[in-house]
Structure formats: C-alpha cells, structure tokens
Amino acid sequence: MILLEPNSYVLEETLLARFNSEKPEVVDITLVDFDNVIYHVQTSAEQRTLLNLSVEMKYFNEVCAYGAKSILQREYGDYLVPVANSQYQITLQFNLEQLPADKAGLAKHVSMLKRNVLASPFIRAFEYWESQQEGAGPLMATHYRENEAIYVQAQQDRVTVIFSTLFQEEVDRVLGKVFLQEFVDARRQAAIQNAPQVFYSSREAPLEIRHLPGLRQDESVGYVSFVLFPRHFADAEVREKTISQIQLFRDYLHYHIKCAKAYMHSRMRTRVKEFLKVINRAKPDRTTAASEKRTASGRYFRPQFRQSSATSPQQVEGEW
Amino acid sequence: MSNTLRPYLSAVRSSLTAALCLENFASQIVEKHNVPEVEAGNTKEVLLKPLIVSRNENEQVLIEGSINSVRVSIRIKQADDIERILAHKFTRFLMMRAENFVILRRVPIKGYDISFLVTNFHTEQMYKHKLVDFIIEFMEEVDKEISEMKLSLNARARIVAETYLSQFV
C-alpha cells in the first residue's frame, strides 16, 4: 500500500473489539500513532461498563488556538469529558451499554480523532479564504513533532502549507532530495497538472516564514511548500479529502524513504549471494563421482580434503 | 563510453593473472611466522612495484604485488551524491561479510573503495583463473548494480510523488 490511511487502524480495531465483546472486561492498553500521539484505553476504575480513551497530544494547546476544541465538541461531543485525565489532553468516555447501533461506524469515527484535531488550522485557513477578506490571513504554526512544524497561511486566491522536516541521517537527506525533486517535477505530467504546486528548499526557509524566530536552517532541515488552489478546497467533500491527505505528507515521505532503503538492502543481499556463488566456483570441490568410489566388496573410498596433512584416502564400511 | 570497458577489463585481467604468481615465503623477521608481505611491508626486496590500470581518473585498479600476496584495490565510478551513497553502502555491505568471501579485505586502501588480498594459500586452494574471473565479474557487476539501484530509486520516487499528488486532483 503506497498511501497512508488518515485514521488509526489499531485504535479502531481495539475499540471495536471492546464495543462488540459480550462481557465488559478490564482493559488498560496504550497505543501509539504517528507524530508522537499516544492513546490510552482504560476501563474506568469506578464502573466496569465505562471505557475511557485518553489522548496525549503535546501540541494540543497550539491547536486549541485554531479552534480545535469546537471541532472536538462537534464531532465527539456526546463522549467528551470536560476535564481530561492528568498528563493527557483529551478524554472521551464511552458507556458500553449505551452505544449506538452502528458500533463499527463509531469506532472508525473515533479513530479519526487525531486527524480531526490536526485539521483545525486548515479549516480555519479555508474559512478565511471563504470570507474573502483582503490580504493574507494569519500564519498558523503547529509544532506537531520535535523540531518539525506545519505552517498554514491563507491568501486571497490560495492557501500555502509549509512543512519543515528534519532528516537525521546523511543517507535520508540524499534520498529525501531525490524524492522531493520528483514531487516538484511531477506537475509536468498531464494527468496531474491540477495538483497542488510543490516547492522545496534544502536549507533556507521560504520567504513566508523567514521572519519567525527559532527556525532551524542547517543542512539537516528541509522545507517543502504546498500551494493549494481553490479547486482543492472549495467543495466540502474535496476539502475533507485534501485535509486528510496533506496532514500525512511528512509521515508519507519518511515512510517511503525507509521503504526505499529496505529495498536497496534486500537487493544488495541478493547480489552478495550471487557473488558468493561465483567465488565458491573457484574452490575445487570433490565431485560426486569421486566421493562414491567403491571397491568390489562394497566399501567406499572417502578422499580427505587437500589441505589437511593426512593423505591416504580412508576406507569406510559401506552398506551391503 | 562502454567501448573502453572491454580493453580496461582485459588489461586488468592480464595484469592480475601475471601478478598472481605466488609462492610460499616464510617471514624473514620472525621465526615460524608466515605473513602476507604486501601487508607487512617490512622486507623490501620481496615487494614488487605497484601497478595502476585506469579507465579514467574516476575508475582505477591498483595492483600491489609481492612474493606471497597481492593486494587489488578498486575505485568505483561515483558521479553524484546518490551514486556515492549507493557505492558506499554496497561496499560496506560486502566488507562486513568479508569472512565469507575469503579474499576480501575488511578495510579498503585509502583512496579506493574496496580491496582484495590474495595470498599464496588462496591460490593453492582455489583455481587461479576463477579467482581472476571473480574479480573481473565483481567490477562489472558493481557498476551495473549501482546504476540499476539508482534507476529503481528514481522510478520509485516518481511513483510515490504521482500517487500522492493524484489524490488531490
């Protein structure tokens, strides 16, 4: 599968198993999602029929400023607990006896939690564009990972999304450059001429964010800008799809870099096996005819290997 | 450019075949020791003059001979960043498995990408012409492998970019 899914599949499966189980059992499961989001599924201490889902999202405060709380209220209002558990930012509580009929749908909806929360800066940017105000909108930054961030800014006729991504290793850097160059060049193809425009710079930040303090601008950092045109977010359905896709860009890129490295590794291993075969041809081996020499009475000759000191071939009792 | 490949390889082949005339030589410095003289370098009279066969300045083979051992070092063509990384990874991969390859050296000589060390014991145990075959085939295969990996990497990058961007359309 080339594309990553926007929902958390493991969370969906876990919740569905809990919803569908006959007897509410005590559970305490910790799950991880992309971008350091941790889910904690736990049966409530007071009542066994209450299931708590706590989410730890370090960047929740930033996203609240862009309206994440109202999105949460709208999507999961029935289950939202006003004050989250300690060290977690969001808590949902499910009563296992009072679930709606469509349990699978609910599980899927909940697994989109991270996607919906991170959608808030995008939705705000699109709303700004819809309001057709003059000039550029506010620059919204979300530091969703350590040392990496997404910047979203709306303008009158487009929305710009800038990713800053960190490449830890030299190999990643070179591979990343190859992949990102292809992203930039992909528009030349007729089929995807309508796709967003992509720009890439390997050290310097793009003009829109250069004024921000604390920007990393060294060799290991890359900046990728997407220019989204109205056709990508004017229509509601297309808008949702765009948001889901664009959030996952950084993870998608790094996932494919790792896949490319794994593929090269397996190719090299095959090649090494081939080389080993060639060098083993250089070693004179005992031919099968020689090792099966036998006398008339049925005994075998077993010749010694050349390098050891014993020279006389041994005689072995063969099967009659 | 491949019209220089055949004469290059045949020159390397004949130089190697000539250099691989090895005989046993016990160490003159320490009693009862038997050392590959090209590695030790202590006894000057048994070392032969090193020979370089080059196709161009980026591809060379250095052959250092002695009475009981020969060191062959190869510099692989690396045109850009990607090829440099691929060649480095590939040779490192091979050198970590040097035990299986018997004649491979774990560390290349400075200025070269990969080195082989063939001693008289190897030529006694293995067919000499097959050893030379292996080294020549190795040189051909490595170049082919690196360019194939680069091509597949570019193809993969193109597919990844296309799939992602076509989701927006």
Measured between beta carbons, which residues in chain A are less than 8 angstroms from residue B138?
275, 278
Measured between beta carbons, which residues in chain A are less than 8 angstroms from residue B81?
174, 177
At residue A203, the pLDDT reads 81
C-alpha–C-alpha distance, residues A80 and A90, integer Å: 8
**Per-residue burial over B22-60, b = 16 or more CB atoms within 10 Å of its CB, e = otherwise:** beebebeeeeeeebbbbebeeeeebbeeeeebebeeebb
At residue A317, the pLDDT reads 46
Say which amino acid occupies A111. Answer: S
Cβ pair A283:B126 closer than 8 A: yes
**Cβ–Cβ < 8 Å for A245, A198:** no
Instruction: List the 176-235 stretch of A: residues with Cβ below 8 A of B.
Output: 177-179, 181-183, 185-187, 189, 191-192, 194-196, 198, 228, 232
At residue A291, the pLDDT reads 52
**Share of residues in chain A with pLDDT > 90 (%):** 7
Residues B13-34, mean pLDDT to the nearest whole number:
92
Band of residue B151 on the pLDDT scale cut at 50, 70, 90 = very high
At residue A311, the pLDDT reads 43
**Cβ–Cβ < 8 Å for A292, A302:** no
Of B102, B137, B162, the CB nearest to A186: B162
Cβ pair A284:B127 closer than 8 A: yes
At residue A137, the pLDDT reads 80
Cβ pair A186:B165 closer than 8 A: yes
C-alpha–C-alpha distance, residues A20 and A14, integer Å: 10
At residue B7, the pLDDT reads 92
Of A182, A192, A284, the CB nearest to B157: A182
Band of residue B107 on the pLDDT scale cut at 50, 70, 90 = very high
At residue B69, the pLDDT reads 94
- pLDDT lower than 50: segments of chain A: 288-290, 308-313, 315-320
At residue B52, the pLDDT reads 95
Bridging pattern class, strands A197-201 and A159-166? unpaired
Helix axes A236-247, A249-282, angle to 10 degrees: 50
Long-range CB contacts (within 8 A, 24+) of A290-295: A294/A318
Q: Which residue is listed with tokens 């001979």?
A: B65
